[in-house]
Amino acid sequence: MSRVAKVVAALSVDEMTERQARAEHKRLADEIAHHDKLYHEKDDPEISDAEYDRLRQRLKAIEVKFPQLVDMFSPTQRVAPTPTTAFTKVRHSRPMLSLDNAFTDEELQGFFDRVRRGLERETDLKSDAEIALSCEAKIDGLSISLRYEDGLFVQGATRGDGTTGEDVTTNLKTIKDIPQKLKGKGVPKAFDVRGEVYMERKAFVELNVRQIAAGEKAYVNPRNTAAGSLRQLDPEITASRPLRFFAYAWGEAEPRAWKTHSEYLKLLKEWGFKTNPLTKLCRTADEVRTFYKRIGEERPSLPYDIDGVVYKVDRIDWQERLGFVSRAPRWAIAHKFPAEQARTRLNGINIQVGRTGALTPVAELEPINVGGVVVARATLHNADEIERLDVRVGDMVTIQRAGDVIPQVLGFVPDERPKNAKKYHFPTRCPCPLKTEVKAEEGGVVRRCSGGLECPFQQVERLRYFVSRNCFDIEGLGGTHIENFFNDVLLKVPGDIFRLKNKEAEIKKREGWGDLSVRNLLAAIDSRRTISLDRFINALGIPLIGEATAKILAQEYGDADTWLAEMLAAAKERKEHPDEVKKEKAGREVGLSYGRLCNVEQIGVTTADAMCAFFTEGHTVEIIKDLLKQLSVEAVQRRVIAADALLKDKIVVFTGELSSMTRDAAKARAEELGAKVTDSVSKKTSLVVVGENAGSKARKAAELGVQTMTEEEWVKLSS
């Protein structure tokens, strides 16, 4: 993260200018997209649920203050990442949406108030009328949709992106809790049952005992293990795992006889499904809070992991009246539990060096079980955080986790501090062999190794990132292999990966590498010699550039040669006019290439400067040119708009909450009709589609005389 980005990240939302908010919004969106992919597709999260929730809360706060920043790339406008390609894709009959979260009593009360206002507006509900809520413990597992026709189980799929999931029918048939044929009366002819696949804590521990006995790596936690088990290509592996299933919702149901959610749960049990016994119908806010407290107290002794309580308006007709907003229903919310905490001994503090040279202190802990996961390490973030916490080697510390491996250190226990505990001094030299000077960013909290690409630690981390799943995704070339090959001088720069075929004989002599494993590795490398432009850009590890931004850049520049030439020109212009580009407006006018880069959607001056700095660093250009000689980088196919497209050359803006479709779907349809969708209203805007609770954009459209239409009118126009 650049110095400017660090400063912005430290600001409260209320302190931000629109320009600062735009930069922080883009950073948060990229970071959330990265963690979404790890969680939903790879079942391998690297931050805690609590940290992830904080990222989303900050993003949402920015969008509330600056609604013009809400766009199709925002995590608030989508459910989950696009499904991977290991399984056949399945389109859900009805979308599988996420739930909004409440973390405080104030947020929960806000949900109660919104539900009552909505029902008073949409129905004849009286102000003092009772609103029953079906309350149930929120299982920490993998969401699944099961398709039944004439009572027979015919197909099962993961949530995926909410619209399209992965077909895991064969694997689901190995789970005993999922009935193959429904019993009882009143089963709909065509029926989607939705619920959660999970693994009980005891079964998880027993599975890890078998893993360790077999000399295999232990699994991280029950949720990730359950998700990974279900997404095995070999159903026999899934069958060997102790997976369970709770049913709690439905998608399509024709015909549907039940009138309340609580009635539906009773029917599920009659038809042969397992439902969560921790369910209660509450009729007042006090009853809801009492139920939440009781479940929280019972949580440690439960046989499975939960991370909160879900509240749903019980009456189905009221659910239908309240409808949906963006990615979640208005009639339901998840009330999350605080992160779990524990105490353990701090045995040491080690320093890790990242691919951008940032030094991150890591707490080495006395191993302790927290929520079913053995924790031995925790990030301490930076030097300022150590200073703030005043943690010292030998301290008894309090740690917090909510589903990840590397939790957060909250502080030390004063009464148990050893008398000889010494204050920690952050290193002034990088721990790499070069021992280069460590420099603090001006106005920031990050301290970096000044060795740049000469620092071997940074070189290794950049190579690891290059081959990672979201970049070149080279199977069989993991982080350990990268480090070992680097230390033994088999590779130094990314291009060396594609020259490993020249060292085949040398690799075969290494421990653990036989003829077959070497052939497989070289084949995997060769299969990645053709790559899309966005993956190529992302793999370079440019600061502030993640997957989403890389796709935007690829669409803007089209092919690798054009992109590289424009980046070099922009970097040169930025270097030749350092004083002029400091001015916000002038910065967009200094040089055609630099100005173009600044004006690319969701880029701006901060990211453009990071790009320019990257292209003036060390041997960056030589490394990229070396790669291009060995690869075929696919050009982007530009979207072609038909001459008779209904909205060709029109500029469309969406504002407010849409109930019949997601914002992404509405924008995609507008683009299919030839329009360019933007986030701000100006004199050039052709049309503003106004949803519920529209704010400043609708008012500005009226002031400028821009045509507006309701969501219903938009649906008719675009159908």
CB 148 within 8 A of CB 193: yes
**pLDDT grade, residue 640 (50/70/90)?**
low
Q: Which CATH architecture has domain 342-440?
A: Beta Barrel (2.40)
Most confident of 59-68, 431-440, 541-550, 651-660: 431-440
Closest CA to 18 of 701, 612, 608, 679: 679
Question: What is d(CA 129, CA 577) in angstroms, rounded to the nearest whole number?
Answer: 67
Comparing 641 with 696, which gets the higher pLDDT?
Answer: 696
Question: What is d(CA 611, CA 542) in angstroms, rounded to the nearest whole number?
Answer: 7
The per-residue pLDDT for range 64-107, each reduced to its tens digit, is 777 777 765 567 665 444 444 467 888 888 888 888 888 888 88
Average pLDDT rounded to a whole number, residues 310-323: 92
- Residue positions counted in the chain: 719
Question: What is d(CA 260, CA 692) in angstroms, rounded to the nearest whole number?
Answer: 26
Average pLDDT rounded to a whole number, residues 36-48: 64
Q: Which CATH architecture has domain 3-77?
A: Orthogonal Bundle (1.10)
Q: Would you say residue 425 has pLDDT above 70?
A: yes
Q: Would you say residue 532 has pLDDT above 50?
A: yes
In the 8-state DSSP scheme, what is residue 315? B
Which residues touch 450 (CB under 8 Å, ≥6 apart)? 357, 430, 436, 437, 438, 439
The region of weakest confidence among 25-29, 272-276, 405-409 is 405-409
Domains 3-77 and 651-718 share a fold: no
- At 245 the three-state DSSP class reads strand
- Taking each continuous run of H as one helix and of E as one strand, the counts in the chain are 26, 26
The region of weakest confidence among 52-61, 122-131, 586-595 is 586-595
- What spatial distance separates the first Cα and last Cα of the chain, rounded to whole Å? 44
Topology of the domain comprising 533-634:
DNA polymerase; domain 1 (1.10.150)
- At 477 the three-state DSSP class reads coil
Residue of 26, 37, 138, 336 marked active site: 138
The region of weakest confidence among 101-115, 514-528, 639-653 is 639-653
CATH class name, domain 651-718: alpha beta
| CB crowding 174-197: b at 16 or more within 10 Å, else e | bbebbbeebeeeebbeebbbbbbb
**pLDDT grade, residue 62 (50/70/90)?**
confident
Quick count: other Cβ atoms within 10 Å of Cβ 580?
Answer: 15
CB 201 within 8 A of CB 372: yes
CB 662 within 8 A of CB 328: no
| CB crowding 45-64: b at 16 or more within 10 Å, else e | bebbbbbbbebbebbbebbe
Q: Would you say residue 57 has pLDDT above 90?
A: no
CB 129 within 8 A of CB 109: no
Which residues touch 336 (CB under 8 Å, ≥6 apart)? 49, 53, 101, 102, 103, 138, 307, 308
pLDDT of residue 78: 54
pLDDT of residue 175: 92
The per-residue pLDDT for range 490-508, each reduced to its tens digit, is 898 899 999 999 999 998 8
Average pLDDT across the chain, whole number: 83
Comparing 81 with 206, which gets the higher pLDDT?
Answer: 206
Is 583 one of the annotated active-site residues of the chain? no
Q: Would you say residue 39 has pLDDT above 90?
A: no
The per-residue pLDDT for range 292-304, each reduced to its tens digit, is 999 988 887 889 9
**pLDDT grade, residue 686 (50/70/90)?**
confident
pLDDT of residue 20: 83
Comparing 341 with 584, which gets the higher pLDDT?
Answer: 341
CB 545 within 8 A of CB 553: yes
The region of weakest confidence among 154-163, 200-209, 464-473, 546-555 is 546-555
What percent of the chain has pLDDT above 90?
29
In the 8-state DSSP scheme, what is residue 684? T
The CA angle 563-670-545, to the nearest 5 degrees, is: 30
Q: So where are the chain's domains?
A: 3-77, 101-336, 342-440, 533-634, 651-718
What does DSSP say about strands 687-690 and 707-710: parallel, antiparallel, or unpaired? parallel
Across the strands, what pairs with 378?
A: 363
Which residues touch 132 (CB under 8 Å, ≥6 apart)? 260, 262, 281, 282, 283, 313, 314, 315
Most confident of 94-98, 177-181, 235-239, 613-617: 177-181
- DSSP string over 253-275: EES----BHHHHHHHHHHHT---
pLDDT of residue 578: 63
The per-residue pLDDT for range 379-407, each reduced to its tens digit, is 888 888 898 899 999 999 988 864 444 57
Query: What are the two backbone dihedrals, phi and then psi, of residue 89, each rounded to the nearest 5 degrees?
Result: -80, 145
CATH class name, domain 101-336: alpha beta
The three-state (H, E, C) secondary structure of 500-557, written as one string: HHHHHHHHHCCCCCCHHHHHHHHHHHHCCCEEEHHHHHHHCCCCCCCHHHHHHHHHHH
